Amino acid sequence: MKYAVSLDDGSEREGRGTPAEEVTLEILSRRVWALAQMDPTTVADIMSANEGIPLPDVSAPNLAPEQLLRPWDSVVRASPEPLTDRQYKKFLQGEDISSEAIVESDMARTYAANRNLEIISGIISVLVLAGLLAAFLIMKSPVSKEAALIGGSLVLGFTVVWRLFQSAMRYGVQRRSLETVITELTALKARAKEDAATQRALAEQLKSLEVEVTRVRADAAEARAEAARLRARKTP
Amino acid sequence: MLLEYAKRVWDPSSSRWVEIAIVNMTPEHAFYWDAVIQPVIRTIGNQERREGKKPSRVDHHWSWPRIRVLLPLAQSLIKRRCRALTVLLQRDLIWQEPWEGPPKIEDEPKAIPAAMILLIESYPWLLPTARKRQSTFTWFIASAPKKVLQGLGVFATPSLGSILIDTALITSMTLGYRGRMWLHADRRGGQRLFDYYAKKCNLLNVSHGFPLPSGSLSDGRHFYATSTIAKRLVNGLKQNRTL
């Protein structure tokens, strides 16, 4: 939602302040800068007492309060994780970041999981190489060729199992994140559809009101004509 | 441990868990609060004034659109991030026109803002022994009066104060500050607000004249949670994090 910021002249302390004039960006940024310089307790004092430096007013949209409410089913809970820089910029601009915050944090988690998997995979590869080297050395030694064979088979078996596990994990994690993205997109699509439906309903309502007004106007004109006729008949 | 904000609250009056949703605060939430809830808060305060009392609520003059829009913007100028969150409750009933009969159950329940919170994510820690450490500063918190919510059609209206403090602690923990959090109890809140933070929220209090990170001295109304206290408080609401 876009909002406009204007200067509160301070003449109306009770209720919402009346914007006295649209302020220039310069004045506005000076006020905001002044707020930034104060410690939080002082800012809270200013907000609570509604006195001190005149604060810019944030004007409300031309919507009935009821229209500002979202359906409970479309609510997306916030994650305690910090927002990304891009998300925070959007938050400052007043945009709803709930859905994409979830998607992005899921993607970040997937990325982290994949990275961990890569690291573990690297360690395992080194271990496999070390195992093979040990097997080679044992084979060379006269002690036991059988032990070397068992060792080598174990290492190979472990590598195969590990690779299978790795692929399964990758498939699982990616699928989960894809599912989240799809769910979120469906919700967003549903919301857009719903908004369009509301708009259509309002337009229809408006149209029917217009028809009604035309009808009433015609009736009124007829009544006026009838009254004029009656008046004319009465006058000798 | 995966940290999450609370998802439900126990309501002693109806003896049941009530589902809540803590979401990132949108300007719509702030505008709704300003248009529907704030006027009632002002009316309560004006009524108290007429009765010769001081307004009991410190948020009498607050404007959440200003708090939500201007303060994070101002803090971003000094490279600090704010976190604004709204606690939503589900509206169960919808009021009809008087001639249409009693309130009916809503077909598509709406989410009603029931409490608001603005935090500064990273702020110097209150205690001088570890000033270099960061903490979360709880800047503004407000709960809607129960009567307003009931008037709007919200059937169960549990107390959300402890949830707001828990939200600040969880944020601090997630940011890696181990639950270090502090706040200032507005002096307009009087002894009632002081006791609320000290006794109900179990936060610690610094004495009058205690040096603050900003260089000024405390008026004796600053409260804080150390990592130990935060852990205890957060664990106390473990059941609230599942649905």
ipTM for the complex shown: 0.88
Rounded to the nearest integer, the mean pLDDT of chain B is 91
Say what the pLDDT of residue A176 is: 67
Looking at the domain assignment, is residue B115 inside a domain?
Answer: yes
Looking at the domain assignment, is residue B111 inside a domain?
Answer: yes
CA distances from B102 to B90, B99, B144, B191 (A): 19, 9, 24, 41
Q: What is the pLDDT of residues A172-190, one digit of tens each?
A: 766 666 666 667 667 766 7
- Residue B120 sits in a domain whose CATH number is 3.40.630.30
What is the rounded distance in angstroms from the CA atom of residue B221 to the CA atom of residue B187? 7
Looking at the domain assignment, is residue B187 inside a domain?
Answer: yes
- Which residues are within 8 A (CB) of B4 and not within 5 positions of it... i.e. 6 or more apart? A79, A80, B170, B241
Give the count of alpha carbons within 13 A of A88, CB side only: 15
The 3-state secondary structure of A135-186, one letter per residue = HHHHHHCCCCHHHHHHHHHHHHHHHHHHHHHHHHHHHHHHHHHHHHHHHHHH
Angle at B139 between CA B134 and CA B143, to 5 degrees: 135
Which has the higher per-residue pLDDT, B128 or B140?
B140
CB contacts under 8 A, A 98-127 vs B, are 98, 101
Flag if B173 and A48 touch (Cβ within 8 Å): no
Which residues of chain B neighbour A40 with C-beta distances below 8 Å?
A: 120, 123, 137, 139, 184
Which residues of chain A neighbour B1 with C-beta distances below 8 Å?
A: none
Structure confidence at residue B186 as a pLDDT band (50, 70, 90): very high
Centre a 10 Å sphere on the Cβ of residue B119 and count the other Cβ atoms it contains: 25
In 3D, which of B28, B44, B166 has the Cα closest to residue A58? B28
B22 and chain A in contact, CB less than 8 A? yes
User: Residue B136 corresponds to which tokens in the numbers above?
Assistant: 């979360």
User: Residue A115 corresponds to which tokens in the numbers above?
Assistant: 């990275």
Flag if A40 and B123 touch (Cβ within 8 Å): yes
Predicted TM-score (pTM) of this structure:
0.68
What is the rounded distance in angstroms from the CA atom of residue B121 to the CA atom of residue A208? 52
Which residues of chain A neighbour B61 with C-beta distances below 8 Å?
A: 13, 47-50
Q: Can you give the residue range of the structural domain that contains B110?
A: 8-241
Q: How many domains does chain B have?
A: 1
Domain ranges of chain A: 1-62, 99-207
Looking at the domain assignment, is residue B13 inside a domain?
Answer: yes
Region A166-171: what's the mean pLDDT? 74
Inter-residue contact B212 to B221 (CB < 8 Å) = no
Looking at the domain assignment, is residue B3 inside a domain?
Answer: no
B122 and chain A in contact, CB less than 8 A? no
A74 pLDDT above the threshold of 50: yes
Which residues of chain A neighbour B35 with C-beta distances below 8 Å?
A: 60, 65, 68
Looking at the domain assignment, is residue B1 inside a domain?
Answer: no
